[in-house]
Every structure is written in structure tokens, then in C-alpha cells.
Structure 1
Amino acid sequence: MNGGLEWVELTVFAALFVLVTVLGFVAARWKAGNTLDHLDEWGLGGRKFGSWITWFLVGGDLYTAYTFVAVPALVFGAGALGFYALPYTVVLYPIVFLPLVRMWSVSRVHGYVTPADFVRGRYGSRILALLIALTGIVATMPYIALQLVGLEAVLRTMGLNGSGLLGHLPLFIAFLILALYTYQSGLRAPALIAFVKDALIYVVILVAVFYLPAKFGGWSSIFDRSAELLAQPGANGNPKGSIVLSATNQLQYATLALGSALALFLYPHSLTGILASKGRRVIKRNMVALPAYSLLLGLLALLGYVALVAGVKPITNEATGRADSNTIVPELFNQQFPSWFAGIAFAAIGIGALVPAAIMSIAAANLWTRNIYKEYLKKDASPAQEAKQAKLASLVVKFGAVAFIVFVDPQFSIDLQLIGGVMILQTLPAVAIALYTRWFHVWGLVAGWVVGMGWGLYLLYTIPNPAANKAHFGGSALTLDKISLFGWHPFAGSSTQIYVGAVAVVANLVVAVVVTLIARRARVFNGTDQTDPDDYHVDENSDRLKPVASH
């Protein structure tokens, strides 16, 4: 701890945190079914959320606390490249509109709870389903840890910036409370809390984007001054950034936006929110309405330029001794607004960490329970035993993320999340494409996963970050000149950059196609498809739906 505690901000933050804690426990009785001892009820909220609840739940799930602090921090440090998050959330919804309604239908007919459940039913392959489950769990873990990074940035700004275990005490308390009410209430807890979180976020950002520009001479002045500041040389002698893209990073920007859009849909927690909705019409309405969050994100990203012009400096993390760039927006609010309003803003970001962390831990727990525990450890597990296992697994996942932040450099969790995005993208053929066609052979999908995963991780390993003094895993931008195909460099001499995930998933698809053609010619058995073409079109009023919480 340090002596500079912001008591007004802490008081407002604590009061709102207590409010959402009460809501978290009350949620167990909100829209409750006959029992919470079933994954349909505990892990998917009874599969009966309507349009408004789903909108807040999915929005709270996809637009996380880390997004709210990291995107403007990236704009603050690099300029235009930080806006990649805006087009990717814009293109996301048209791309995933049809796959999501198909996933909802087939999951409701067969009682699928996870994407790995669908893969198991579609291909009858335990191995492929296991790969999808493990990928989802491993990719989700650092994502949960990043929510803690966002929460700690807020706590640090309010003066809770100690070193050692005592410095992490507020984080321990917050996540202990989160663990308890998620254990009791399941998905209903973050669904109910998301209403408070999103209301606070909208109020704070709308006030900020109208008040702050007026204080600094308007947006025209802010853009002009930001361009000057970003053009100044950084540690490597090159410009720090630019408010427009350069010739070398335009391809990276486009592939990062598209790759991130596809990856976001494939994350287990994204599908959890969709499977919890009560019908296809709810999903369609949400795909139309969710871009409102993208508008919010765009306005928030602009605050990175405001912080640049305001001369905001990141707070030093006492645990690592390095400046924490994620404190840029919290520190901007701390300097430019009254303490009571800054406290509301910090509560919005802090609660914004709890909602996605809860959903992510539930999604990871569902994967463990359905696709590892029940599949390999206890085949005859009852629904109540499944629910118990999922509750325990969600605790392990949460506290594993806390331990990661405490004992490992938080910057490394950011790098791991970067790796997680490349990893989850490798499930695209087996999950998303399989919703439309079963042309790929199961062994083609397995081989494609192995190649895409292996090459993607290798390419990430080869990327340095001299500014951070890192020789490996320094970013996701790969120079085309570095791409080598068995010693052949097809883009030798090119300084254009591309997103590693795009390269890896193309390799995945190419290998999957080649192995599929070979397997088909050799007439290798392609597993048994338990689904029917009509399963992908049923709606909530169909008598073919599997009853919720049935055995």
C-alpha cells in the first residue's frame, strides 16, 4: 500500500461493489428453475434469457474491463493501430450472425453445453472434441487473468499500489467474493450484474467524451496535438506512433481485425452467452443491437488521444517497478474529474472485470466438466455431479488466474492472451465451418489443428520486442519477410506486417483440405454424425428441443 489513498473514490467504489455483490447472491433466485444442480441451469441460466438480458450479458462478456483500459492505452502509445478493435467488433456481428443461430439450434436439440460437445456430436470423435476443449480452457485462462490486470489498474490509481502479497489483498477480496456468488448463482450472477456494469459504463463514457474535448480545445485540436506527440521519437529513435496507418502495418491492421473477430466468436465464453438465450429471434436481435457497444468502444478509444494531450503519465507498478500503461484512462479520470465521479468510473471498470471473469470461468468449467471429466474420468456422472464438478472447476480457474497475476509479471499475461487468440482461431474449421458442412475429414481437422497451432506458436516465439527487451513473444505482428516454407521465403525483402493468427489458420485450412482429400481417397472412416440437417434450423417453439435440465 502507499500513503496516497483516494478515500472518496474508494468509498464510492466500495459502495457500488457491495451493491453488485448483493445482486450476485440474489441472482440465485432470479428466473430460477427447479434446481441449480444441472449445467443447463447453473452454467447456462436455464437457457431462457430474453433479448435485453442477452444483450447485457453478451455485451458485458465481449467488452471487458481489459478492453476498456487497454484499447485507449494502445491508442495513447501507438495511435491509429489501437483502433483495430473498432472495425473488428463492427465486422464481427455480420460474420457470426448465421453461425450463431445454427449453433443455438443444434445445441438445443441435443443438449450441447460447450462447442466441444457439438464437435463430439458432429464427428463422433473424442480426440477432436478433447483438442477443442483443451484449446478453449488454455486460451480462456489468460483472458481471465487480463480482467485482473484491468481491475488492478483501477485499484492502483486509487492508491492501492503496494508490493508483495499485501499489495494484492484488495484483489484477493474482490475475487473471493466473485468466486462465492458465482459458485452459488452460476451464470445468473454475471447476467444480473451486467445491467449495473453497462449502465455505469455508458454514463461515464458519454460524460467523458463530451466534457473532456471541450476542456482541451475540441477534437480538432486534440487530433493535431496527438499527431505531433506521436511523431516524436521513441526509445528506438523511430516515431512513437501515428494517427494514420503506415504502408507496413495496414495489412496487419486488416488481418488483426478480421482474425480477432473470428477468434472472439470462437471463445467458449462467447458461445456460453448465446446458448443461454431462449431462441433464434433473441440472437438475431442482439446481432443487430450489439454494435451499440462498438460505438461506445470507439468513443472510449479516443480518450487515449485525450490522455496524450493532457500529459497523463502511467502509474508505476510497485510490484514490478515498471510503468503500467493500463492506468492511462483511470489516471485521466483521476486528474480531470471530481473524486466522486472518478469513483463511479473506477467502479464501472472494476465491475466490468467481474462480469466477463465470471462468464469465462463458467465456460471453462463447463468444458472441463463435459468434455474431460465426464468423457474420460466419470462417464456415468449424474447431472448433479456434473454441476458440482463445474462449480469446483470454476473456483480453480478463478484462483488460478489470481495466482498467475500475483506470481507472474502481469505483462506476461497480456502476451499469453495474445497467444490465446492465435490458439482459439485454430478451432475455426472444427467448430464454425462444421456448422455448415461435414466435408472435412476428422483426421484432416486434427492434422490442421496440429499444424496451425504449432506453426502459430513458433511464429509468435520468433517475434521480438526490443522496446520491452524481449527476444520472444514480443507481439502478434509478423513481417512477411520472416515467413519461411521449408526454407523458401516467398515474401523475401518485404517489410509489410501481418497478424500471426491469419497465417496460422490459413496453414490449418490448407493441411485440413489436403489430409481430407487423402483420407477420402483412402476411404478412411469419418466418424458418425449424430446431428440431422433439420437440427440447425429449429426454434424455441419446436417440439424437437431437448427439455432444459433433462437427464
Structure 2
Amino acid sequence: MAARFKRAESLDSLDEWGLGGRKFGTWITWFLLGGDLYTAYTFVAVPAAMFATGAVAGFFAVPYTIVLYPIIFLFMARLWSVSHRHGYVTTADFVRGRYDDRTLSLAVAVTGFVATMPYIALQLVGIQAVLEVAGIGGGDNWVAKDAPLFVAFAVLAAYTYTSGLRAPAVIAFVKDILIYIVIIVAVIYLPSQVGGWGEIFGAAKEKMATTNEATGAPTGSFIPGVGQGWAYATLGLGSALALFMYPHSVTASLSSSSRNTIRRNAAILPAYSFVLGLLALLGWVAIAAGTKPVGLDGNPNPQLVIPQLFEDFFPDWFAGVAFAAIAIGALVPAAIMSIAAANTFSRNIYKEWLKKDATPKQEAQVSKIVSLLVKAFALVFVLTLDKSNAINFQLLGGIWILQIFPAVVFSLFTRWFHRWGLLAGWAVGMVYGTIEAYQVVNPATGKHFGGSLGEIPGLGEMGYIAMTAFALNLVVTVVLSLVLNAAKVGNGRDRTEPGDYYADADDPRVAADLDVDPADPERPAPA
């Protein structure tokens, strides 16, 4: 049914297949963005981090999703407007139009595509967590063990391929309503079963103060202590700056029907942050409840803590509702992410570099095929690599995606930054962030890419590697821009006009619909 929602006569264009015709109003966009940003893995991982290591690793997600929305209020409406006027589908499209630079556009596109891949895999990890607690997929042979994931993959692939963004937009309603019901019931009911909130906070504080045998340090932090302020603050700010750089966040935003829809959603989306805060505290409820999250292999796995908590305390029928909410909460963002990654490949790699004369129909067909390949890759990733690798690569993706912030957001307001400076800053941030993340070794497993915190040069404090890389990115970008602008080195041709950044729904959507300059069909004529 969702696949037929507001179905167009033809889905043979990225506008229709990849952006739902750019017709979604405030409520559909709200549910779509909520379903997209607050993923199943969010609902599994945030309380798991609170359960395992406390506030620095887990609760920073709450303030970061609060800080996030004023930031997108400032720039996302401008991105929507200029994309509406020129038919841009991705941030790389915008960068290409702003600087007429294929290389910088490719850097933005590849970064977004690669950073999204492990994010999709983590949605399947979220489904796996539910299946393990439910005792499903536990056979000795690989067919019995992994059959449920293949079923989830088939459903996800089928409804995404046939309907594009419309189906996940509708299913997001189901997912979000279920999540709200489950969390509100859990927060009201569970504390009364474990002695109240005083008992919960006391148990969490006691656990975090105990010594971790693997590291010789305290297990975690009840609240950020001495030396943890920078880690908490940079994780929060860096994550807030990075989230709407992901292609799936942009895709959900550009599908809305007007720039005011974007602004209204920036105002009402913090309702999800409230629910996320309640959910995070369930990780500490599990401590007081004595929850033992153990996988089917017999090893402790904090990722199972919330499904196991529900399994232990709720009747089977309600635990089933909770498990369904998490599973559907994985399928919705995975669908949107695969569409966004496919749009990026089709528009900014296939059309820009492989087949410049590709028609809109060919673009859409390539995007559909790539969306299947992306999901298949995520499935193989989950089945062949251990879960810690998926998590670590997603952390690395967060470091990478922040490095395109200057090229995208700053360029929405000014062209003072030189395109070569932006490209050099991006490269420095990517290299530094990758090397620093590699050098983080998990003390329990000895594996590289064991976290996203490293020492901040000059401060001697631990902080989010992505923010340190971002700071280096800015320094390089500003210095080179000063030099190149002083030397009057060309900064490419700007295909946008100042008025494009304020265009609303009643303006033409693509350049072809505008009165154009006869000397340059790709550039709108001056008003």
C-alpha cells in the first residue's frame, strides 16, 4: 500500500523516484525526517552506550540533536531553494553549480556515498539485535541463521525499487507511532518495576565507578568528569554539524514542498530529541534491572540490552510490538539511505563522469539498480564482518562526512572561499581524520578504528577526532583562499543567482523552466 502512495504516472526521473516529486508537506516531511534521522540503530546504540560506558558515550546524542535544528534552520532552507530552482538532487549538484568544478563536486559526492554505506549496514545490525533476543536466526547452518536478514533485505529492496522515496515516507508514520508508544510506556512502567528513578541513578553511578578489568580505568562516566568536558562537547557539536551532511538527510529535506516546510520541521523535530532522552535513560534502567544482554553465541553484547530489557519485563505481545518498532525503524532509514546513495552515484558519478548525455530515465534506472547494490553490499558487510567493524566504520564515516561542511554550507552564503582551498581543506581533514581514527585501538579487542576520540593537539584533552580534522580543514581552506583570492586565481563560474537562495514553491523548479540567458542556457537570465 505504501508503494502506491501519491504514485506519479512515471517514476522515470530522480525528481519522482528519488525525491517523491518534491511534494511532501510538513507532517509527511516530519515523519520522514524523524524516521530517517532517528534510526533503529540509534534506538539500540544510544541506550547500549549508556548501559556500557555512561553519559559521555551515550547521552551526548541528546544535546547534539537539540543543537542540530537551529543550525539547519539557518542553512537548509537556502539549500532547498537553490535546489528547487536548478533541479539539484544532491549537495554535490549544488557545489558543481556554485563553482563549476567537477573535482570538488566529486569529492563531496564520494564522501557522502562512502560514509552512508556503513550507516545502512548498521540498520541491519539493529534488526539482528532484535532477532537474537527473540531467538530467531539461531540455527547452526548459515541458511537458518541468516534467513531473517535475507527476508528483511528482500522486503527492503522490493518496496524501495518499485516506489522510491514514497514508500518509506508512509512507513515512517508506522515506525514513529510505534516507537513513541513503546518508549512512553517503557519510561512510565519500567522504573516502577526496579525501585524508581532514585534506585536507577544510584545503580548507574555505582556501575560507572567500578573498574574495567580490560583497561584498569572506571567503567564509564555517570556525568562527564574531569578531562571529559571536551570529549562530550566536541562529540555533541561535531555530530550536530555532520548529521545533515549525510545524503539521506538532504534527500529527505529536498523532498519537501516548500522552504517553509523545512523551517517548520526545524522547529518541531526536537520532539524526537525528547523521546531520545527518555530512551537513553532506559540504558540505566537496564542496569538497575540487572539485564544480561548475552548473544546467541554466549558472549555479552551491550547492543542487545534494550531488546533484552523488553523481553524480560513486558508480556510477549508488547515485546513483539517493541521488536517490530525497532525492525521497521531499521527498514525506513535503510531505504532512504540507499535511495540517497544511489541518487548521488547516478547524478554525480554516472552522469557527470561516465555518461554525460544520460537522460532522466537512464539516471533513474541507474539509481534504482545502485540502490539494490548498496543494500546487497550492506547485507554482505553484516554477514561477513563482525558487528564491531560495522560500528567502527560508521564512526569513521562521521569523521569523513563533516569534512564537506565548508564546501556545502559556507558556499550557501558566500563564494569568498576558493574552490581549490575548499578541496585542499577537505583532503587534509580526510587524511588527518582517517589516520587519527586508525590509531585509536580498542583496549578490549586490540583492533584499530576502536573509537572516535583522540587527543586534541595543543590542548592535551580528549576530543572528537572529526572536530579536530574539521578545524584543520578550516585553517587550510581559509589560508589558501586568502592566498588564491589575493593572486586573483579564478574561482570557477557561479551558475546560481542571489535570488535562487530565496525561491519558494511557486517558482520554477529547474533551470529549463526558467527564462534563460540565450548565451548560457544553464544560467538563468537576470530578473
Q: Same fold (TM over 0.5)?
A: yes
> How many angstroms apart in 2 are the aligned matches of 1:254 and 1:317?
36
> How many angstroms apart in 2 are the aligned matches of 1:242 and 1:400?
36
Q: CA RMSD in A?
A: 1.5
Q: How far apart are 1:174 and its partner, in Å?
A: 0.7
Q: Is the CA contact (8 Å cut-off) linking 2:454 and 2:465 kept in structure 1?
A: yes
3-state SS, counterpart of residue 468 of structure 1? coil
Q: How far apart are 1:34 and its partner, in Å?
A: 2.7
Q: Deviations over 1:156-194 (max 9, x none)?
A: 111023455321110011111110110000000100100
Instruction: State the one-letter code of the partner of 1:262.
Output: L
- Superposed, 1:214-229 pairs within 5 Å as 214-229=192-207
Q: Structure 2-normalised TM-score?
A: 0.95
Instruction: State the one-letter code of the partner of 1:427.
Output: I
Q: Is the CA contact (8 Å cut-off) linking 1:55 and 1:286 kept in structure 2?
A: yes
Find the counterpart in structure 1 of residue 285 from structure 2.
Answer: 306
Q: How far apart are 1:517 and its partner, in Å?
A: 1.7
Find the counterpart in structure 2 of residue 348 from structure 1.
Answer: 325
Q: Structure 1-normalised TM-score?
A: 0.90
Change (3 A) 1:467 1:511: same
Q: How far apart are 1:521 and its partner, in Å?
A: 2.4
Find the counterpart in structure 1 of residue 166 from structure 2.
Answer: 188
Q: Deviations over 1:464-520 (max 9, x none)?
A: 2212322x211111123xx3xxxxxx34xx3x2111000000100110111112222
> How many angstroms apart in 1 are the aligned matches of 2:455 and 2:91?
33
Q: Does 1:531 align with 2:508?
A: no
Equivalent pairs: percent with the same residue?
A: 58
Q: Is the CA contact (8 Å cut-off) linking 1:71 and 1:301 kept in structure 2?
A: yes
Gaps of 5+ in 1: 1-25, 484-489
Counterpart among 207, 217, 237 of residue 216 in structure 2: 237
> How many angstroms apart in 1 are the aligned matches of 2:314 and 2:501?
51
Counterpart among 211, 225, 248 of residue 246 in structure 1: 225
> How many angstroms apart in 2 are the aligned matches of 1:528 and 1:322?
58
Q: How far apart are 1:410 and its partner, in Å?
A: 1.5
Find the counterpart in structure 1 of residue 45 from structure 2.
Answer: 70
> How many angstroms apart in 1 are the aligned matches of 2:229 and 2:325?
33
Q: Is the CA contact (8 Å cut-off) linking 1:153 and 1:324 kept in structure 2?
A: no
Stretch of structure 1 that moved more, 150-159 or 232-241: 232-241
Stretch of structure 1 that moved more, 247-256 or 107-116: 247-256
- Superposed, 1:346-495 pairs within 5 Å as 346-470=323-447, 472-480=448-456, 483=457, 490-491=458-459, 494=460
> How many angstroms apart in 1 are the aligned matches of 2:254 and 2:418?
26
Q: Is the CA contact (8 Å cut-off) linking 2:227 and 2:462 kept in structure 1?
A: yes
Instruction: State the one-letter code of the partner of 1:323.
Output: P
Q: Deviations over 1:298-351 (max 9, x none)?
A: 000000001111111122253xx6432211000000000000000000000000
> How many angstroms apart in 2 are the aligned matches of 1:547 and 1:302?
52
Instruction: State the one-letter code of the partner of 2:80.
Output: W
Matched length: 510
3-state SS, counterpart of residue 106 of structure 1? helix
3-state SS, counterpart of residue 493 of structure 2? coil
Q: Does 1:504 align with 2:469?
A: yes
Find the counterpart in structure 2 of residue 15 from structure 1.
Answer: none
> How many angstroms apart in 2 are the aligned matches of 1:276 and 1:144?
20
Q: Is the CA contact (8 Å cut-off) linking 1:165 and 1:406 kept in structure 2?
A: no
> How many angstroms apart in 1 are the aligned matches of 2:376 and 2:79?
31
> How many angstroms apart in 1 are the aligned matches of 2:510 and 2:360?
18
> How many angstroms apart in 2 are the aligned matches of 1:544 and 1:332?
49
- Superposed, 1:32-71 pairs within 5 Å as 32-71=7-46
Q: Is the CA contact (8 Å cut-off) linking 1:538 and 1:544 kept in structure 2?
A: no
Counterpart among 232, 243, 248 of residue 264 in structure 1: 243
Find the counterpart in structure 2 of residue 158 from structure 1.
Answer: 134
3-state SS, counterpart of residue 466 of structure 1? coil
Q: How far apart are 1:463 and its partner, in Å?
A: 1.4
Find the counterpart in structure 1 of residue 270 from structure 2.
Answer: 291
Q: How far apart are 1:246 and its partner, in Å?
A: 1.1
Q: How far apart are 1:216 and its partner, in Å?
A: 1.3
> How many angstroms apart in 2 are the aligned matches of 1:546 and 1:341?
52
Change (3 A) 1:547 1:541: farther
> How many angstroms apart in 2 are the aligned matches of 1:353 and 1:399?
15
> How many angstroms apart in 1 are the aligned matches of 2:485 and 2:253?
34
> How many angstroms apart in 1 are the aligned matches of 2:172 and 2:108?
28
> How many angstroms apart in 1 are the aligned matches of 2:412 and 2:141?
48
Q: Is the CA contact (8 Å cut-off) linking 1:317 and 1:323 kept in structure 2?
A: no
Counterpart among 324, 337, 341 of residue 314 in structure 2: 337
3-state SS, counterpart of residue 315 of structure 1? coil
Counterpart among 239, 244, 253 of residue 274 in structure 1: 253
Q: How far apart are 1:228 and its partner, in Å?
A: 1.3
> How many angstroms apart in 1 are the aligned matches of 2:43 and 2:512?
38
3-state SS, counterpart of residue 379 of structure 1? coil
